[in-house]
Every structure is written in C-alpha cells, then in structure tokens.
Chains A and B, each alone.
Chain A
Amino acid sequence: MKITNLILSCSLLFLAVYLHSQPLEAEINKIAEYRSSLPLSNELRMKIFMGTPGKYVDGQKIKISEALAIDENGDSLQLLHSNWEYYASPTSINLKMELPARSVKRLKEIKGKVNVFRPKKETNIQIKNFLSRPNQNLLKPKAHPLKVAVVQNLEQDSFFEAFSLAYKKSLRDVYPNISDKDLEAHFEMIEVSKERSRSADQIIHIIADDQEGNMLRLKITDSSGQDVVVGGIILRCPMNETLAKLLHVSDQDFQHLTFQTLTLKEKLSTDWSLEVQYVDPVLVTAYDFAVFNIILP
C-alpha cells in the first residue's frame, strides 16, 4: 500500500514537473513584414495567440519578455519590442522581431518567455500633495522598483535640444550607418511634445525611470477624485548627465528617462493626487512558450 502511494505520488510529481517544463502552446494569428530602405522601419510584427494556466485576476496583464526566432537558414532573430497588454486568457499578444533576410520563406521556431502580471491593490499607489515635492522620486526606493518625479523649472529649449541629441545618440548606437535625414523622420514626437509644452494649455511634466515599460497607468486626480489629464505624449531615451541636470534630478537616481508631457483640464492645484500603477516583479509569473513552422507571407 505504502509503495503504491509512493509510486502514485512520484508519478504525480513527475507529471507536474513534466507539464511545468513543457512550453505553452501558441499559434500565430497574424504576421506582417515591414521592409524598407529606411533602417528604422524594418520589423516583423506578429500576433501570437496563447493561453496560460493559473487563476484569472481582474486587471491582469501579459507581455512577451523574451523571444528568439530561428529561420530556415538557421539564422536567429531577436525580439525588438513587446508591451504589457490586457489579458483575458487565451489572448493574442503583439510582438515585434528582427526581420529575416528577404529570401527567407519560413521560420523554424520562435521560443521565449511570456510574463503574466496578476495585480494586487498595493500596486496602485496614491501620492497626495505630490506637487510639494518636485524634482525628486515620489516613491519609496525600498518599497517600489519604479521611480517617478514631477519636473518643475524646466528650461524647455535646452531640455528638448539635449533630449534630441541623446535620442539621436541612442539610435546611432543601434544603427551606426543611419543618415541624419532618416533619423530626423523619427523626431516628430519630440517636436509635438515641445510644441505642447510651449502651448497656452495647462501642462505638467512627469518623468519615470521605466525602461521596461512597467508603469501601466499614471493618473492625476483632483480633490473629488476626477482625472484631470486630457492627453499626453511620452518620450523615452537613456538618461545622461546633461538631461539629469536640466531635469534637476540626479542621474544616479534615474538610469533611463520616460518623459511625459500631460495636458490638464484646469490649473494645477496643490490638493491634487498622483496615482501610479506599475508591474511589481514579485507578482509576475513567467511561462515558456514555443511556436513552430511559421510560414512568412
């Protein structure tokens, strides 16, 4: 009897380990190639359909954190970009990968990891009187992996000039041969942000150290709890000493810059609150996934 129980337990354990080690089955919903003579406009976009085990939690999100594709010639393609997306399992997840050579007709496989974030109330943080503490991290460093600050006294011309230079450098690091003309085609949002900042509208600038895009929501609410943000523009680039100085924050505090220009419904008021929701790594479960034999269009 004891031996039977032991065998049964071992079998169950073996089955559980086996199932856990098996990658999730996934399939491609849609695939599109963007090929261009402009180097920044080349990518393979896919919608991958998959479901993950586990209990559904309201507001859960999903993101592909790692992916590597191997084409029919054995060449590998890296993951370029993936966002946190709403997730009601099963679902389609968007991802962008490097393009294979033009002559490639098939990818042998894509393998990677998908992260599921199941939020708890604590990941919604409300910061009251946040305007009284400008140019400093509003979150407690030991409690929260994210950094957020309100920027005041921004010298806009100098800042946007420095931002353009830093952004240009970050693109040149990845695409060393890119021409100035091709680069400038990607500067539209910087110009829009600059114009918005100079407009007569009520504007607030908020920065975060969030290279991975883990800040899911940022809300500014008035004393009655109403959201006062009408719209916003987000710019991202690596932080450097010049930018940190112009933003009046220490570059040790912010490694990467997410710069938000938010348009407000009304004039700034000291009784407003800032609400931030972010992905806490502790609440993230990672699953392996795999897709095989992908025919390119």
Chain B
Amino acid sequence: MKRHLSSLLFLFICCSTLLAQELTTQIESISEFRSSDPGETNLAIYLNYEGLNINDYTLFKVTSSSAIDNLGNRLTAIGDPDFLLPSRSHAKLEAPIREAASLQQVVMRIQCFNPSLENGAIVRIPNFYDKLGVNLLAPYSEYHDLKFVVVDSIGTRAEIAALMGKDTLPDYMGSNFKPRPDQAWFATYLLFDDPEGKIMKIDILDAEGNAVEHINWDRLSYGKIVQRRKIYFNTPIQKDWTLQLIIENKQALKEYTFEFSDLALH
C-alpha cells in the first residue's frame, strides 16, 4: 500500500512538472495604429504567457501565420519579428479595414527562448577578470563558433586581431583606443566574435549573484563579425565578479502554435 502511495505521489509530481512546462497564452491587448503617413498603419496583438518556468531572461518571438477578419479579408504579417521580453512580445499585422469589427481567426507561431543553466543557454564564468585576453567560451564546445575576450584596455588593431584569432580586423573597428587615465569611471572592454548574433545578453554579476550596476554600454562598433564594447562601472572591478552570457541554443528554444478566434476590434 505504502509502495502504491509512493508511486502515485511520484506520478503526481511528474505530471505537475510536465504541466508546469506547458505554455498557455492569452490575448493581453490589441492595439491598432492608423496614420496618414504611408507605411505606418498596423495592428499589434500582445500576449501574456503562463505555465513555463519563465525567468528574467525568457524571450518570445511571435509571428502571425494566418489572420482573417470578420468580413473574410486576410491580413498579412508585417515586419521582421524579433525575440522580445514577454510583456513586449507581439504579432504585427496589416491593419484591418474600418468596416471590420473583429478578427474571426488568428493563428500565431510562438518561439520561446527560455534559457537556464541546465540547458546551457546561461553561461556563467566566475572570476572572469583573472582570465583577461583569452577566449572565455573556449571550454564550451557547443559555442565553438563564438569568441568572447575581456581586456582591460584596447591596444593596436593587430593586437585585437590576434586576440580574436584573426589576421586583420574590419575597418569599422576604428583606430587604437585606450581609456584616458583621468577618467572618472572604471571601464573594461568586451570583445566578441558572434557572426550570427547568438549572444543575446551580457551581464556582470557580483559575488552575491546580483547584476552589477553599470553606467552604460558603449557600443563602439556595429556589425556581427567582431564587436567591441566598453562597459563603465561606478566602482572598481572586483575579481570575484562573474560574467554571465545568455546565448541562443537549440535546447533553450521551443516552438508553439496557438489559435485565437473572435477578437473584437476597437
């Protein structure tokens, strides 16, 4: 009897865990923008999500794969959706005509990026400031196509190229750059080679695991081949700080399809 109870309890826990992993979604709001300027008019459908273990880094990309208004007109998706925070993720469609009073049916494809330490999309590198000048992602075989190097000052273009394992650097990297000795802020440099834009967020955590407040991210160059950024802190950089990278990977990505009907237009 006791054994049966334990099995039932185990089954219940498994079911609860599985249910907790299921994503449910509801329409949060529908916003329509109609403008006399050409090309600006659109309809945005915002969603809210429940059921997944959504954390501070969870992002959603929403695409409308099919939408029909109550008069039978098809509405096409517009723009190129990106991964956004849950509260900001939305599907963007062309605006329905004025005579339409509702959307009869909308089918949405929702891609969820839900990073965790377990699925490897959250990478934490403790004491990173002790590892200046080396590729911090080298130990992570799944990220062999990425390079991430921290330096305390930027030297010559040749030095940067060498750090990134390249012969030359593109022109947009600019000229040599070193922090002024009299500057009031404490700064460090991040160099990363991320051809497909997989690095979605960079954080520096203090010894307690809280994000260290920084003044700004100074994006010194654009493009996805090699980027360099300078990060300014209010306080001197501590050796026990941790570099946290949120990196897109297949294990953290899931795709869902949801269908909604009879959505009133305002």
Decide: B98 and A102 in contact? CB cutoff 8 A.
yes
Chain B neighbourhood of A104, CB < 8 A:
98
Report chain A residues within 8 Å CB of B33.
Answer: 32-35
Which of B2-10, B35-43, B50-58, B184-192 forms contacts with chain A?
B35-43
In the assembled complex, A221 has its CB within 8 A of some CB on chain B:
no
Tell me which residues across on chain B come within 8 A of A38, comparing CB atoms: 29, 31
Quick check: is A41 within 8 A (CB to CB) of the other chain?
yes
In the complex, which residues of chain A have a beta carbon less than 8 angstroms from the beta carbon of B37? 30, 32
A37 at the interface (CB under 8 A from B): yes
Given A35-B265, A102-B265, A102-B266, is A297 in contact with B30 using a C-beta cutoff of 8 Å? Answer: no
Contacts of A103 in B (CB 8 A): 98-99
A-B contact count (CB 8 A): 55
| Total number of A residues with any Cβ neighbor in B under 8 Å | 18
List the A side residues contacting B266 at CB < 8 Å: 35-37, 42, 102
Closest A residue to B31 by CB, please name it: A36
Provide the bound-state CA to CA distance between A102 and B103, in Å: 14
Given A102-B98, A102-B266, A32 and B31 contact (CB-CB distance below 8 Å)? no
User: Given the complex of chains A and B, what is the CA–CA distance between A126 and B35 in angstroms?
Assistant: 44
Q: How far is the CA of A75 from the CA of B123 in the complex (A)?
A: 59
A172: CB under 8 A from chain B?
A: no
Q: Identify A32's interface contact among B27, B35, B264, B265, CB under 8 A.
A: B35
Give, as a whole number of angstroms, the nearest-CB distance from B178 to chain A.
Answer: 29
Closest residue on chain A to residue B45 by CB atoms: A37
Q: For A133, what are the chain B residues with a Cβ–Cβ distance below 8 Å?
A: none
CB contact under 8 A between A297 and B35, given known A32-B40, A35-B265, A42-B266: yes
Residues in chain A near residue B219, CB distance under 8 A: none
Chain B residues with Cβ below 8 Å from A36 are 29-32, 266
Interface positions of A (Cβ within 8 A of B): 28, 30-38, 41-42, 102-105, 296-297
Q: Which 7 A-B pairs have the closest CB atoms?
A: A35-B32, A33-B34, A36-B31, A32-B35, A297-B34, A31-B36, A297-B36
B101 an interface residue at 8 Å Cβ cutoff?
A: yes
Interchain CB contact (< 8 A) of A35 among B27, B34, B99, B101: B34
The smallest C-beta distance from A240 to any residue of chain B, in angstroms, reads 30
Question: CB distance A32 to B34 under 8 Å?
Answer: yes
Distance of A236 from chain B, by nearest CB (Å):
24
- Residue pair B29, A33 in contact (C-beta under 8 Å): no
| CB <8 Å contact, A37 and B264 | yes
> Which chain B residues (77-136) contact chain A, with CB distance < 8 Å?
98-99, 101
Name the B residues within 8 Å of A33 (CB-CB): 32-35
Interface string of B150-164 (1 = CB under 8 A from A): 000000000000000
Number of interface residues of B (CB under 8 A): 18
| CB closest residue in chain B, given A28 | B36
Is B99 in contact with A37, judged by CB distance below 8 angstroms? no
How long is the Cα–Cα vector from A115 to B29 in the complex, in angstroms? 37
Which residue on A lies nearest to B266, using beta carbons? Answer: A35
Q: Are B101 and A102 in contact (CB under 8 A)?
A: yes
Q: A36-B266, A103-B99 are in contact. Are A30 and B29 (CB under 8 A)?
A: no
Residues of A within 8 A of B31 (CB): 34-38, 41
Chain B contacts with A in 250-266, Cβ cutoff 8 A: 264-266
Question: What are 25 A-B contacts defined by CB distance under 8 Å?
Answer: A31-B35, A32-B33, A33-B32, A33-B34, A34-B31, A34-B33, A35-B32, A35-B34, A36-B29, A37-B27, A37-B29, A37-B30, A37-B31, A37-B264, A38-B29, A38-B31, A41-B29, A102-B266, A104-B98, A105-B98, A296-B98, A297-B34, A297-B35, A297-B36, A297-B41
| Residue ID in chain B nearest A33 by CB atoms | B34
- Which A residues are in CB contact (< 8 Å) with B264? 37
Contact between chains at B36 and A32 (CB < 8 Å) = yes
Q: Cβ of B35: which chain A residues have Cβ within 8 Å of it?
A: 30-33, 297
Distance in angstroms from A130 CB to nearest chain B CB is 31
Shortest Cβ gap from B37 to chain A (Å): 6
The interface residues of chain B lying within 8 Å CB-to-CB of A35 are: 31-34, 265-266
Q: How far is the CB of B173 from chain A (nearest CB, A)?
A: 33
How far does the alpha carbon of A104 sit from the alpha carbon of B30 in the complex, in Å? 19
Q: How far is the CB of B234 from chain A (nearest CB, A)?
A: 10
A292 CB to nearest B CB, Å: 16
List B contacts of A42 (CB < 8 A).
Answer: 266
Separation of A56 and B33 alpha carbons in the complex (Å) = 37
Closest Cβ–Cβ distance, residue A204 to chain B (whole Å): 22
A102 to B71, CA, bound (A): 15
A34 to B33, CA, bound (A): 5
Say how far B169's CB is from chain A's closest CB, in angstroms: 38
New A-B contacts (14) at CB < 8 Å, excluding given A30-B36, A31-B36, A102-B98: A33-B32, A33-B34, A34-B32, A35-B32, A35-B34, A35-B266, A36-B31, A37-B30, A37-B31, A42-B266, A102-B101, A103-B99, A296-B98, A297-B35
- State A33–B98 Cα separation when bound (angstroms): 12
**For the complex, what is the distance from the CA of A41 to the CA of B32, rounded to whole Å?**
10
Min CB distance B94 to A, Å, is: 13
Q: How near does chain A come to B117, taking the closest CB pair, in angstroms?
A: 30
